[in-house]
Amino acid sequence: MAIRYWEFEDAALKEKLKSPNVKEIAKIYFENETKAYRFSKALTEVKKHNELRLKDCPKDLPMATWKRYLDFGVTVGILKHEGSAYSFTDRYTKSLKNIAIYIKSWVDMPRQDDLNLLFATAHVERQTKRGGRRGNSGVKAPTDIAVPQPQA
């Protein structure tokens, strides 16, 4: 995690507070455009619903992806997870004070960010399965193979 704290010092912060967006928050934690997009999508959903449960997450991303990025938000201190719901926290560490002011101003801002516009180069489509166990739709067990019987 490469937090560029100098971007959130007082003079630069005042300029950023004029038009806060979720991309600035996501870019603090992720250099990768796709990861930043997914994290900002999770933050936007929490902002939209005030409290977000995993079962209420949209189906455009896998459930494991939602959980991973929401849990990351809890780990870095932006979100809290209480009663099986994710919501924004109001407690920040002293070293993240200015970043917290920026996050709070974004949360309180009434307009929604267009993530497709902010993250134009991110991979936004759902990925295909890359391996692991296949369900019942996979290969069937052969039934026509003769099993040799032990001779008595």
Phi, psi (deg, nearest 5) at residue 88? -75, 140
Give the separation between CA 105 and CA 88, rounded to whole angstroms. Answer: 12
What pTM did the predictor assign? 0.62
* 81-109 pLDDT per residue, tens: 998 899 988 766 555 666 777 777 777 77
> What are the Cα distances from residue 56, in Å, to 9, 85, 149?
37, 10, 54
pLDDT at 11: 66
Domains and CATH numbers, the chain: 19-118 (1.10.10)
